[in-house]
Amino acid sequence: MNKKSIKNIDLADKRIVMRVDFNVPIENGKIMDDTRILAALPTIEYILKHNTSLVLMSHLGRPSGSGFEEKFSLKPVADHLSTLLRKTVIMAPDCIGTEVVSLVSKLNSGEIIMLENTRFHSEETGMVDTKSIPPALLREAQNDVKLKQEKMAQQLANLGGVFVNDAFGTAHRAHASTSIITKFIDTAVGGLLMEKELNFLGNAIESPDRPFVAIIGGAKISGKLDLLKSLIKKVDCLIIGGGMSYTFKKAKGKKIGKSIVENDLLGVALETIAAAEKFGKKILLPIDNVIADDFNENANVQTVSGDFPDDWEGVDIGKETIELFCEEISKAKTILWNGPMGCFEMKPFSNGTTAVCKAVANSDAVSIIGGGDSVSAVKQAGLSEKMTHVSTGGGASLEFLEGKELPGVVALNDN
C-alpha cells in the first residue's frame, strides 16, 4: 500500500505522537518477551535523531476499560524501554487528561513519555455491548460511543504535531489511538516497522519470486478460511498441516479417530482441493501422521499412513510427510508460513513443526513468518534470525494476507 512513512516527512523540531504495540507478556512485573519492544526501537531511535520529543502510546492486555488496573499498567514497559535506550522514559499517570497535557507540554527535545494503557478507557475500542442494550436504543448507544471515541482520539492528537503508527499488530482495529486519531491530525505516517511489514507481506502477495510456497497450519480451517481462498489463486504450492489437515483427511473419506475436526467445513475442504486443481496449483496434505491415545506428553504414540483408530488422535505430521513438505520447501523462492504442523508446545509432538522450521530457515527463499503460533515455533527453535521477516502482526498479518483493508493503515497519509 502506497502510504507515507517517517522517511517521507520532515520531523525536525516536532513533537511526535507514536502508536506502538507494547502488548507484551508480563509476570510479576517482569517482561517475559520483549520482541515487540525491540521491534519498535529503530523507529524510536530514528525519530529522536531529528531533534524531536516523543509521546508513546500503547495498549496492554484486556482491562475492563473503567480505569486504572495495576496488572495492566505499562510502567514495567517504560522501565524496560529506559534500560534499552539508556535514557529515562517518563511514565504518565494516564493517556488523556489535564495532568498528561501538562507533562507533555514540558517535554524537551530528545525526551520521551510513555502514556498509560489506552484501554483503561472504554472509548479506545469504541465497542458497544449489544447484548445489554435494547434493539430500539442500539443506534443511539452506538452514536454516543462513537462521539466519545472521537473525543478521546482528538485529545490524543492534541499531544503532538505528527502521528506515527508503528503498531502493525493493532492496525486491523479501528481504535481511537490507531486510526480515529488521524481525523484530528494532518500528518499521519507509518513507522519503520509498519513500512517493513507492509513491504514484506505486500510483496509476498502481489509480486513474489517463484516458486511461491505457502505453509498453512494451526487448529482450524474456520480461522483461516479467507486466507486459504486468497492464497490458492496466488501460490504455486499450498502445504496444509496441523489440526486443520484432519478436516481435509475426513473430507476425503478417511477415518481420523477423535482428532480435532470441523464437520461443517468438510465441503469447504473439498472445494479448496478442487480450487487448487482448477487454478493448476499444487496442494500437499499429510501422507502420514503421528497419533496418540491421549492428549499429553506421556501418551502412547504411533505413526500411521491410513485411517486412525477410533480412540486415537492426530498430534503431528509423520516422517514421510516431513520429507515431502521439506523437499517442496527447498525448491521455493518465496515462503509464507502461518500455523504449526502439530501440537508443537509438547516436545514429543514438535518434530514436524521443528523440521519445517529448519527447512524454511535453511532455504534460499525469502521467508516470511506470518504471525501467531508460527512466530512462537520459530523462537522455540532458535531460528528467528535465519528468517527474512518474522511478522509482529498476529491477527493483523492474517487479515492483510487475506486481502482485507486495515483501518490503521488506510488512515495514514497517501504517498
Domain ranges of the chain: 6-192, 200-401
Q: Is 381 within 8 Å of 408 (Cβ atoms)?
A: no
Most confidently modeled of 150-164, 227-241, 399-413? 150-164
Q: Is 19 a catalytic residue?
A: no
Mean pLDDT of 363-369: 94
Other Cβ atoms within 10 Å of 14 Cβ, number:
19
Please give the share of the chain, as a percent, with pLDDT higher than 70.
100
Task: Give dist(CA 256, CA 307) in Å, integer.
Answer: 6
Q: Same fold for the domain at 6-192 and the one at 200-401?
A: yes
- The active-site residue, picked from 148, 151, 220, 282, is 220
The CATH code belonging to domain 200-401 is 3.40.50.1260
Mean pLDDT of 45-69: 95
- Contacts for 96-99 with beta carbons within 8 Å, 24 or more apart? 96/121, 96/152, 96/155, 96/156, 97/155
Q: Is 393 a catalytic residue?
A: no
Q: Is 36 a catalytic residue?
A: yes
Q: Is 242 a catalytic residue?
A: no
- The active-site residue, picked from 3, 14, 15, 36, is 36
Asked if pLDDT for residue 87 goes beyond 80, the answer is yes
- 331's CB contacts (< 8 A; 6+ apart) are 211, 213
The CATH code belonging to domain 6-192 is 3.40.50.1260
Terminal CA-to-CA distance of the chain, rounded, Å? 9
289 strand-pairing partners:
304, 317
Mean pLDDT of 295-316: 96
Q: Give me the numbers of helices (H) and strands (E) for the chain, helices first please.
A: 13, 17
- The active-site residue, picked from 191, 372, 393, 394, is 372
Asked if pLDDT for residue 223 goes beyond 90, the answer is no
Task: Give dist(CA 220, CA 262) in Å, integer.
Answer: 7
pTM of the entire predicted model: 0.88
> DSSP strand E in 176-287: where?
187-190, 212-216, 237-240, 282-284
Judging by beta carbons within 10 Å of its beta carbon (0-12, 13-18, 19+), is residue 348 exposed, middle or buried?
middle
Task: Give dist(CA 307, CA 121) in Å, integer.
Answer: 52
Name the residue among 330, 326, 300 with its Cα closest to residue 315: 300
Asked if pLDDT for residue 269 goes beyond 80, the answer is yes
Phi first, then psi, for residue 385 (nearest 5°) are -70, -20
Task: Give dist(CA 144, CA 208) in Å, integer.
Answer: 45
